[in-house]
């Protein structure tokens, strides 16, 4: 029983660490966003322009939210922008 109680904090930490946003996650999301943006530009240039304005604004706002130890705002921004672009496809 004692071993189980000692293991619980480590299991929580491992679960939290695996859910964290990494630089690799950001790179993958950036590539996906570029692909979706290209598709949007080809299918709906007007929506692509509007989306581009949103993306620029989001990137500017992100600069004040991301820290070297917390990249989760960047992952959220990419997820939101990708979802927004896919709606217009």
Q: Model confidence at 20, in pLDDT bands (50, 70, 90)?
A: confident
pTM (2 d.p.): 0.77
pLDDT tens column, 28-54: 999 999 999 999 999 999 999 999 999
Please give the Cα distance from 71 to 37 (Å, whole number): 22
Phi, psi of 70 (to 5 degrees): -140, 100
- The per-residue pLDDT of the chain, averaged, comes to 82
Q: Would you state the pLDDT for residue 66?
A: 86
Q: Would you state the pLDDT for residue 31?
A: 96
């Amino acid at each position: 029983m004692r071993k189980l109680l000692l293991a619980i904090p480590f299991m929580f930490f491992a679960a939290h660490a695996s859910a964290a946003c990494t630089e690799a996650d950001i790179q993958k999301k950036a590539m996906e966003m570029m692909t979706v943006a290209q598709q949007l530009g080809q299918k709906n240039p007007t929506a692509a322009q509007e989306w581009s304005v949103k993306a620029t604004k989001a990137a500017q706002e992100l600069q004040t939210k991301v820290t070297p130890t917390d990249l989760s705002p960047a992952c959220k921004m990419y997820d939101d922008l990708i979802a927004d672009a896919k709606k217009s496809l």
